[in-house]
Amino acid sequence: MAVAQISILSKDDIELVHEKTLTILEETGVAVLSKKALSVLGEGGAKTDTKSMRAWIPESMVKETVKRIPRRITLAARNHKQDMIAPRTGYPFMATNGTAVYMTDMKTGARRATTGNDLKDFMTLSDAIDPLDYVWPIVTAHDAPDRTHALSELAISLQSTTKHVQGEAMSAEEARAEIEVAAAIIGGKDELAKRPIFSVIQCPICPLEFEKGSVEAVMEFAKAGIPVVSMSMALCGLTSPVTLAGTMAIVNAENLASFAISQMTKSGAPIVYSSESTSPNMRTGEIHYGAVEETILASAAGQMAKHYGAPSMVGGFSLGLSGESPGISCDPGELLFTTMTTIASTDFGSGIGGLDQAKGAALEQIIIDSDVWEVVRQLGREVVLSDDRFVTDLIKEVGPGGTFLKKSHTVRNMRRELFIQDNLAAEMFSQYRFDRDRKELVQRARERAKKILSEHVPEKVDSDAKRKIDKILDEHRD
């Protein structure tokens, strides 16, 4: 197989990033604001200090951590056909954006805070969209209890789509409740460990700090067999050095430290190496998704993940992150990012449906992004280089100056080898030309979203599971 990929780091560069990472972990260490997590690291060989809540991780412990990392993981779904297995060859599995705080209303176009019912609509729409492989709870359920909003959002999402759901947890208690919810749906905790229908993103506080609630949640998920995505969100010049090399080392150190906590809690716990690091807007300090630096950092992070044999989630795809309303708002740099990360070394990506640097979302934007992603992802498809695909006998038969158009081989294989849209898909995609009217584009996406929401009914969980979920939610309300 041949796959289009970009590489930022040479083999020597990878070894240098690794070497500098070891220096950071051994000499600077990481802040771990949990005595439970510090204890686990200490038992694994780290030097720890409960006064400063700091851990220093030696090279020997990093080697042991990497040795324990599972090389192959499954992110399962209620529908077995939608299971995702990493490592992934070809273009990455793609998800929605996550936990936006507002949406643009489809009826009025006005910006407003989101509710659990809005999240249900987003999940229902995403359930029906083929280019979306899995989902994040794309909008915040502001009507859910503050203490357990992630639990509420996971419960809504798991009941509104058969695809894999990727959430978060802010405490060990919330993590245990999320495990109970998913276990109720899949048929018990043992079955959940075999087929984790949800995974979680847990972000270190950059630079090099692990908050108590989040890191203790990581430990609960490790014990339950729930995949944990350790997402480093470094900002060059703010929470990491302004140099890209320094930021690469911070990203790598945060991932390896997170993996150490997981693997020392339970050897073989499923993990995913992740970075959503970028440069900020240096005039405002605001995060800048789609910056040119994000492409470089994403590609480097993907290569470091492969170096350790870990699954990866870096980069993503969204055409609306520069704007506050649906449409195509990306500048050339962001267009480069959304295209190039498709061929970075990554197994998973995200971002579909996001607006306003991930603070907002729109149902129409899911339609728009998914349409374009369906085409762009072809950059990362597998190219088969087997003997029968070289067709040297056919080339000899046609000879110099000939044509292959009339050959039966072309007719038999063109749909297998070439990306050919049907007439309806080609007509829909034509609306994304830059000379087409933006209002018309958004209106057509809105009509399609409304039609899907009126017709599509996701497969429901059984009544017994629904009762168990409702009971769990009631027990954890404020």
Looking at the fold, whether 406 and 278 belong to one and the same domain comes out as: no
Q: What kind and span of H or E run contains 75?
A: strand 73-75
Written as one string, the DSSP assignment of 108-135 is: T--EEE--HHHHHHHHHHHHH-TT--EE
Looking at the fold, whether 271 and 324 belong to one and the same domain comes out as: yes
Looking at the fold, whether 370 and 402 belong to one and the same domain comes out as: no
Chain-centroid distance, C-alpha 185: 23
Token duo for residue 302? 């993907």
Q: What pLDDT is recorded for position 291?
A: 76
Angle among Cα 448, 453, 458 to the nearest 5 degrees reads 130
Q: Is residue 41 part of a domain?
A: no
Looking at the fold, whether 230 and 107 belong to one and the same domain comes out as: yes
Q: Is residue 277 part of a domain?
A: yes
Looking at the fold, whether 278 and 347 belong to one and the same domain comes out as: yes
Cβ-contact 220, 249 below 8 angstroms: no
User: Mind listing the pLDDT tens digit of every residue in the chain (478 residues)?
Assistant: 566 677 889 999 999 999 999 999 999 999 999 999 999 999 999 999 999 999 999 999 999 999 999 999 999 999 999 999 999 888 899 999 988 999 999 999 899 999 999 999 999 999 999 999 999 999 999 999 888 889 999 999 999 999 999 999 999 999 999 999 999 999 999 999 999 999 999 999 999 999 999 999 999 999 999 999 999 999 999 999 999 999 999 999 999 999 999 999 999 999 999 999 988 878 887 777 777 788 889 989 999 999 999 999 997 787 777 788 888 876 655 566 666 666 777 899 999 999 988 899 999 999 999 988 888 888 777 788 889 999 999 999 999 999 999 999 999 999 888 877 777 667 776 776 666 677 888 999 999 999 999 999 999 999 999 999 999 999 987 6
Q: What pLDDT is recorded for position 188?
A: 97
Q: What pLDDT is recorded for position 325?
A: 87
As a residue count, the chain comes to: 478
Q: Is residue 36 part of a domain?
A: no
Q: Is residue 294 part of a domain?
A: yes
Looking at the fold, whether 97 and 196 belong to one and the same domain comes out as: yes
Looking at the fold, whether 175 and 122 belong to one and the same domain comes out as: yes
Last residue of a domain, one of 334, 352, 380: 380
Q: Is residue 474 part of a domain?
A: no
Looking at the fold, whether 285 and 389 belong to one and the same domain comes out as: no
Q: What domain range includes position 397? A: 382-417
Q: Is residue 348 part of a domain?
A: yes
For the stretch 117-135, pLDDT in tens is 999 999 999 999 999 999 9
Last residue of a domain, one of 417, 443, 473: 417
Looking at the fold, whether 342 and 277 belong to one and the same domain comes out as: yes
Q: Is residue 184 part of a domain?
A: yes
Token duo for residue 449? 């979203």
Q: Which residue type does 188 have?
A: G
C-alpha R_g of the chain: 23
Residues of the chain above pLDDT 70, percent: 94
Written as one string, the DSSP assignment of 374-423 is: HHHGGGG-EE---HHHH-HHHHHHH-TT--STT-HHHHHHHHHHS----H
Token duo for residue 45? 């060989």
Looking at the fold, whether 227 and 348 belong to one and the same domain comes out as: yes
Cβ-contact 429, 437 below 8 angstroms: no
Cα gap 185→33, rounded to integer Å: 33
Looking at the fold, whether 88 and 208 belong to one and the same domain comes out as: yes
Percent of the chain as helix, strand, coil, to the nearest 5: 50, 15, 35
Q: What pLDDT is recorded for position 422?
A: 73
Q: Is residue 51 part of a domain?
A: no
Cβ-contact 368, 328 below 8 angstroms: yes
Token duo for residue 213? 């609630």
Parallel, antiparallel or unpaired: strands 111-113 and 102-104: antiparallel
The total domain count for the chain is 2
CATH of the domain at 124: 3.20.20.480
Cβ-contact 123, 157 below 8 angstroms: yes
Looking at the fold, whether 244 and 168 belong to one and the same domain comes out as: yes
Token duo for residue 138? 């794309």
157: left (phi over 0), alpha (psi -120 to 50) or beta: alpha
The phi and psi torsions of 316 (rounded to 5 degrees) equal: 175, -165
Last residue of a domain, one of 402, 417, 432: 417
The phi and psi torsions of 261 (rounded to 5 degrees) equal: -65, -45
| Of the candidates 326, 348, 207, 163, the residue with the CA atom closest to the CA atom of residue 272 | 348
